[in-house]
């Protein structure tokens, strides 16, 4: 019951020592500048590629025959450039991991926005001019449009986003300090240290460590999307929200994935996948499942570029499983059971949602923790944190 691979079991085997070590003297580890500098260099090259791709896709118009191959070529470019650039730069892959993750995300954004243009679901106004299209293709967070024109941000929004960035950074540092000593699996480490085992402990570990892993991913992605929002605001555009408190307000998988979690990815997948399929007459449950398939493809791409040792297919198992979970929820909502869910108090609904999400194999969390160069390690290097040494 301890885990999905030997690396995870080895990490848990060290948990008792780390648990005891928390009683000894702490030390403060400062953020590591090298991953940030490497990420900035990678992002500078990525920005050049995004600018060029925006110009090309603008010239190609809305032709599927031309845009789809161009989008595929753009998505393949990081696989071609990664190893030669890393060898030329002279750094380690661990130093380049953060930059690789951000670059993979940026290239995926360009891919999906090109697909949007080919199927006619680009926000009205985003392609009004070459300059606006370049801005839209280069934005890390979608700008808002109304009546074909970009919305201007309300007074004080930039200031509030800067405050949010500082608060999220502090929360990430505190949370990393709390769970890193346990190998980012605090529930499993505590159960192991206390000698607790059996089916009930296995269920507790599954739910507890999925929850802590989801919170850290939420904090990290919220940090990135808030920074992206600040860049959009600085250019006079009003960005969409990145998250809507998905962990502690969602009472069902559909609410979690459909209305609260990573609204940037949510919006792009709806425009590039769900809306075209539903508009073509595909039933809503099948369109939902296909959209989760597109999400699986996005994460396969992202993980293959930024997580050394990633096993292809594990992200797909997770996201397709989540898609099936939403289909099952749709079927249940057609029965009298839907009234029970609507009357449940918020804490009970949140607990139900976290438990339901944990029914799917936790390969997603495993990929952030158990690989030889875990991405949670790269997240930890970004923030000051307290480590407990024996």
Q: What is the pLDDT of residue 24?
A: 57
Residue 326 has pLDDT above 50, yes or no: yes
Residue 98 has pLDDT above 50, yes or no: yes
Q: Helices 93-119 and 130-138 meet at what angle, rounded to 10?
A: 140
Strand pairing class (385-388; 26-29): antiparallel
- Band of pLDDT at residue 12, cut at 50, 70 and 90: very low
Q: What is the pLDDT of residue 340?
A: 65
User: Which positions ≥6 away from 317 have C-beta within 8 Å?
Assistant: 361, 363
Arithmetic mean of pLDDT, 259-280: 94
Residue 327 has pLDDT above 70, yes or no: yes
At 116-151, the pLDDT tens digits run 999 999 999 999 999 999 999 999 999 999 999 999
Q: What is the pLDDT of residue 185?
A: 93
CB 105 within 8 A of CB 78: no
Percent of the chain past pLDDT 90, that is, above it, reads 67
User: Which positions ≥6 away from 65 have C-beta within 8 Å?
Assistant: none
Q: What is the pLDDT of residue 292?
A: 93
Arithmetic mean of pLDDT, 233-238: 96
Residue 75 has pLDDT above 50, yes or no: yes
At 160-208, the pLDDT tens digits run 999 999 999 999 999 999 999 999 999 999 998 888 888 888 899 999 9
What pTM, to 2 d.p., does this model score? 0.90
Mean pLDDT of the chain, nearest integer? 88
Q: What is the pLDDT of residue 285?
A: 87
Q: What is the pLDDT of residue 341?
A: 62
Strand pairing class (145-146; 385-388): unpaired
Pairwise CA distance, residues 178 & 22, whole Å: 10
Percent of the chain past pLDDT 70, that is, above it, reads 92
At 342-385, the pLDDT tens digits run 677 888 889 999 999 998 888 888 899 988 889 999 999 999 99
Cα distances (Å, whole numbers) of residue 81 to 16, 87, 89, 140, 339: 43, 10, 12, 21, 53
Q: What is the pLDDT of residue 21?
A: 41
User: Which positions ≥6 away from 97 have C-beta within 8 Å?
Assistant: 35, 306, 307, 308, 373, 375, 378
Angle at 195 between CA 190 and CA 200, to 5 degrees: 80
Residue 308 has pLDDT above 50, yes or no: yes
Radius of gyration over every alpha carbon of the chain, rounded to an integer in angstroms: 22
Q: What is the pLDDT of residue 342?
A: 66
- Band of pLDDT at residue 224, cut at 50, 70 and 90: very high
Q: What is the pLDDT of residue 17?
A: 41
Sign of the CA dihedral running 279, 338, 324, 184: positive
- Band of pLDDT at residue 216, cut at 50, 70 and 90: very high
Q: What is the pLDDT of residue 2?
A: 38
Residue 11 has pLDDT above 60, yes or no: no
Angle at 181 between CA 192 and CA 205, to 5 degrees: 35
Residue 6 has pLDDT above 80, yes or no: no
């Amino acid at each position: 019951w301890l885990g999905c691979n030997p690396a995870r079991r080895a990490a848990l085997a060290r948990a008792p020592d780390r648990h005891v070590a928390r009683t000894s003297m702490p030390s403060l580890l400062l953020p590591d500048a090298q991953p940030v500098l490497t990420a900035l260099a990678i992002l500078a090259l990525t920005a050049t590629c995004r600018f060029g791709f925006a110009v090309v896709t603008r010239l190609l118009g809305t032709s599927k025959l031309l845009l789809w191959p161009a989008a595929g070529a753009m998505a393949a470019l990081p696989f071609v450039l990664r190893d030669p650039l890393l060898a030329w730069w002279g750094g380690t892959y661990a130093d380049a991991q953060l930059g690789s993750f951000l670059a993979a995300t940026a290239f995926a954004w360009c891919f999906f926005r090109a697909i949007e243009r080919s199927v006619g679901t680009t926000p009205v106004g985003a392609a009004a001019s070459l300059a606006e299209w370049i801005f839209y293709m280069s934005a890390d967070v979608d700008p808002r449009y109304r009546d074909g024109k970009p919305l201007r941000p309300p007074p004080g929004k930039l200031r509030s986003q800067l405050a949010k960035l500082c608060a999220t950074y502090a929360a990430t540092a505190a949370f990393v300090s709390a769970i890193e000593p346990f190998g980012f699996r605090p529930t499993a480490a505590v159960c192991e240290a206390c000698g607790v085992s059996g089916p009930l402990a296995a269920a507790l570990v599954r739910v507890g460590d999925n929850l802590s892993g989801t919170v850290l991913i939420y904090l990290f992605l919220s940090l990135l999307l808030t920074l992206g929002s600040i860049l959009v605001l600085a250019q006079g555009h009003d960005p969409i929200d990145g998250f809507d408190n998905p962990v502690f307000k969602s009472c069902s998988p559909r609410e979690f994935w459909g209305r609260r979690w990573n609204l940037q990815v949510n919006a792009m997948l709806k425009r590039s996948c769900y809306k075209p399929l539903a508009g073509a007459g595909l039933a809503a449950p099948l369109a939902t499942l296909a959209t989760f398939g597109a999400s699986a493809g996005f994460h396969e791409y992202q993980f293959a570029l930024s997580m050394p040792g990633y096993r292809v297919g594990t992200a797909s198992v997770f996201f397709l499983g989540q898609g099936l979970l939403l289909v099952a929820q749709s079927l249940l909502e057609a029965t009298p059971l839907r009234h029970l869910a609507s009357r449940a108090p918020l804490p009970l609904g949140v607990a139900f949602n976290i438990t339901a999400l944990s029914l799917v194999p936790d390969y997603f969390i495993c990929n952030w923790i158990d690989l030889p160069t875990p991405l949670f390690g790269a997240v930890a290097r970004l923030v000051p944190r307290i480590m407990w040494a024996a």
